[in-house]
Amino acid sequence: MKGDTLSRYQARHARLSAGPAPVGELLEAVGDVLRRSDRLGTEGVEEALKALGRAELEAWVSAQKPQALQPLLLRAAEESMEAALGDEGEESDVWRASALEGLSARDRAASAARALSTWEMLKGPLEGDAASARERFLGALGHLDTSLRPRARWFIPLNAERRAERDLLDPVERPGAWWFSARAGCDDLLASWTGKPLKDPEHLKDCAGCRADRAETAVVDTPPRRHLTEDELWRLDSGEMGGEEKARVEAHTAWCGECAQAVLALEEGDAAIDEALELEEDGLSAPRAARDSRADAARRPGAARLPEHREVLEERRDFRVVLVRERQKLRLLVQPLGTRAVTAAVFLSPGRPSLKPTQGPEGLSFDLSTALATGAHAAHLTVQAGQETLERDFAF
């Protein structure tokens, strides 16, 4: 396994000298090599970065939306659990491979960030709007890691593959790459929950993370199968939930990516309110009465922030197609991933006009709610990015 993983990175290293590549691919490949330089060396890295122009790099930085990694990692968590709890075989292998791709997406973002930093050391720092875009990019990655690193137990079923990836990283890189390294030795936590034989019983006694996880799940025989209700999310957010019930919620979100996303959304909402308070104290925000009104409204049960459920329908080099299910709304998102312009159209049936998209911070959005109300349950999508075209029928 480790040999196959190493060969993959060696091939990426070799491609650095193969000629021009899209900015994102080049940065990811350079960063992959820099973060594994003990194994791969750094031949060709400096030349590849020096050949990358400032305008190209600035355009790439401005187009980055690392927040899109969160639903990807949450989906990877669900797939990791499917691989662990299902029967061994081809289906389990499919779940495992798909979950690992989610972790690899986070790792590629880390590599791009490392290459970006090295480019600035070679050719001078970014300035103005590009520097602000760089800070947003790095800050969003940091926020994502703060939210998800404590839940690294989701990926324990992938530990064999994660260790192979971790061990190829330079030692200084491993602690930060939590998606490969955090809880990578906690195989027996999963075994203790599934009734499989333990490989190292002493680990469960010595590992603080495993002890905490087992204590949290000890209050229930099995994590609840149903999703968290709006009332439960409200009481959790308002601090009215008791300790035993909070432990049951924690046990459930250890395995349910959809409910974990709901809890993360609550935490992010609280963080935004706290940030508004800090800005006000510095004299930068709206008056306190207006801020209190917004905060109170955000916390009312009628305005509970149940997050949307996202299903990635298609992912290409330059774009991603996501079906977003909200409480009373259904949307199709076409998210740009590179620097190429992306256009898209959605047709509900042959001969009918296409749905009109709206442009937002995540890309092109098509509202399918009205179509759903008329009884439509399928549509045809066309996406164009450079020379690449996607034609796909999808159900909703």
List pLDDT tens digits, range 139-186.
999 988 988 888 888 899 999 999 999 999 999 999 999 999 999 999
Q: What is the pLDDT of residue 272?
A: 46
Top pLDDT among 263 and 284 is at 263
- Whole-number Å distance between alpha carbons of 211 and 11: 41
Residue 107: what pLDDT?
96
Per-residue pLDDT reduced to its tens digit, 37-77: 999 999 999 999 999 999 999 999 999 988 888 888 888 88
Angle between helices 2-15 and 159-168 (to 10 degrees): 50
Q: Where are the domains of the chain?
A: 2-183, 186-214, 219-303, 309-395
CB atoms near residue 175 (< 10 Å): 11
The whole-number pLDDT of residue 254 equals: 66
Lowest-pLDDT range of 123-132, 227-236, 237-246, 370-379: 370-379
CATH class of 309-395: mainly beta
Dihedral sign of CA atoms 311, 263, 95, 11 in order: positive
Higher pLDDT, 342 or 300: 342
179-194 burial, b for 16+ CB within 10 Å, e for fewer?
A: bbbbbbbbbbbbbbbe
Least confident of 94-103, 137-146, 267-276, 352-361: 267-276
CB proximity list for 157: less than 8 A, separation 6 or greater: 80, 81, 83, 84, 96, 99, 190
Residue 280 clears pLDDT 80, i.e. is over it = no
Predicted confidence (pLDDT) at residue 289 exceeds the cutoff of 50: no
Q: Is the pLDDT of residue 233 over 60?
A: yes
pTM score: 0.59
